[in-house]
Structure 1
Amino acid sequence: MTLGIDVPDARGRTGLDQVGRDLRGNPDVVVRDVELVATAWHVLRRTTFDYRHRDGRWTREQRETYDRGDGATILLYNTARRTVLLSRQFRYPAYVNGHPDGMLIETAAGLLDDDDPASAIRREASEELGVAVGALEPVFAVWMSPGSVTERLHFYAAPYTGADRVGPGGGVAGEGEDIEVVELGFDEALAMIGDGRIADAKTVMLLQWAALKGIMNRLV
């Protein structure tokens, strides 16, 4: 009996070794086996598959995939004040891999869990930044680290005003979150990309998207 396969894991899941076995969309990929390597809050799998190369050769390959579910993120901007609303929080993976203190400045973001992307990002903006988000603008949905992580991240943008800041933010204490709300001038935020003070990929992408689209020139 194995947790996550025939015995429910900590999140009540079974059959976690079945994901990917029924893939049929690519005739050059034939999944042979899926092993459950680890299951805690998220899932690590090792998949064995046959792959047909462009020259016709078949080889047997293995890949490990980290499945944490899909997520969503949002850039909140104020055109009248030319500001953006971001967060600062400790990120251990960045800290252990060379970031000086692990404190990253980011757009609000989180996993979808059982919500659709729009509902999830409204939840996260409220929890992290204390903002009640109005109309959402979908930006794009992308795979951030497709070599090993299955997550697809849904990007949004939305305006905010002082009246929309209805709570303190800070995250959910029960989940170990300790998030500082950071309001920055848009031009300063762009400069912080250049000097490395903003080094989070989703945040860089949304800020550069906003610059390309001329977001701060919009009438809201």
Structure 2
Amino acid sequence: MTAGLDTPDRRGRTGLDRHGLDLTGNPRVRIHDVEVLSCDWYVLRRTTFDYEHTDGHVSREQRETYDRGDGATILLYNTDHRTVLLTRQFRLPAYVNGHPDGMLLETAAGLLDGDSPHTAIRREAAEETGHVIGTPEHVFAVYMSPGSVTERLHFYAAPYDPVDNPTGTTGIAAEGEDITTVELPFAEALDRVRDGTIVDAKTIMLLQWAALDGPFSRPGPLPRRD
């Protein structure tokens, strides 16, 4: 008996080795075997499949995929003050891969954890920024690292009231979260993308959307601080 396969793992999951075996959407792909390498919290799998190439020959391939579930992220903005509200928190993967201190400026985000994207992002906005938002605008949904990570991230935007900004740290302490909110002029946030201070992909995508098609869009070049 193996946890995550025929008995529940620590998150109550079974059948993790059957993920993808029933897919029929691409006739050029035939999945043969799925091996669970780890399911301590998220799931690491090695999948063996046949792939029919454009020239007709078929090759046997293996790929590892990391399944952490889908997520959602949101840009909070205020058009009257022309500001955005971001978070700052420690990210170990960035720290061990060259970021000076691992403290990243980001849009609020989190995993769906069984909720709809709309419900999850309202929860995450409240937990990470202290703001209870109204109906968020859905911007797009994308695969952030499709070569190895299964996650699809849902992007949202919503206005916030600067008067309600919390002080101190936010996040769920029991989950090890130690988050501070950072309010920036929108033009400064764009400059921080240019100078490499903001290096988080989801944040850059939402800031660029806000400049091109969102609440700060306008004809001509993107705004720049003097």
Corresponding residue number in structure 1 for 2:2: 2
1:13 CA displacement: 0.7
Residue 161 of structure 1: CA displacement? 1.0
Q: 2:104 and 2:217 mapped to 1: Cα distance?
A: 27
Cα displacement string for residues 90-113 of structure 1 (whole angstroms, at most 9, x for unaligned residues): 000000000000000000000000
Q: Which runs of 5+ in 2 are unaligned?
A: 219-226
Normalised TM-score (structure 1) = 0.96
The total of aligned residue pairs comes to 218
**RMSD over equivalenced CA pairs, Å:** 1.5
1:33-72 equivalences under 5 Å are 33-72=33-72
User: Which whole-Å CA distance do the structure 2 matches of 1:160 and 1:145 have between them?
Assistant: 30
Q: What is the CA distance between 1:121 and its match in structure 2?
A: 0.3
Indicate the residue corresponding to 1:131 in structure 2: 131
What residue ranges of structure 1 are gaps of 5+ in the alignment? none
Distance 1:95 1:208 in 2: 25
In structure 1, distance between residues paired with 2:166 and 2:98:
36
- Contact 2:211 2:217 (8 Å CA) reproduced: no
Deviations 1:89-140 (A, max 9, x none): 0000000000000000000000000100010000000000000111211100
Residue number in structure 2 paired with 1:207: 207
Task: State the distance in 2 between where 1:155 and 1:147 align.
Answer: 20
Residues of 2 paired with 1:132 and 1:59: CA distance? 51
How far has the Cα of 1:162 moved from its partner? 3.2
8 Å contact kept, 1:87–1:108: yes
Matches of 1:57 and 1:109, distance apart in 2: 42
Is the contact made by 1:79 and 1:217 (CA closer than 8 Å) also made in structure 2?
Answer: no
Cα–Cα, structure 1 residues 166 and 97, in superposed 2: closer, same or farther, change >3 Å?
closer
Q: 1:52 to 1:217 in 2, by over 3 A?
A: closer
Cα distance change on mapping 1:187 and 1:51 into 2, 3 Å: same
Percent pairwise identity: 69
1:75 deviates by 0.3
Q: Secondary structure at the match of 2:18?
A: coil
Q: Is the 8 A contact 2:49 2:62 kept in 1?
A: yes
Cα distance in 1 for partners of 2:17, 2:60 equals 19
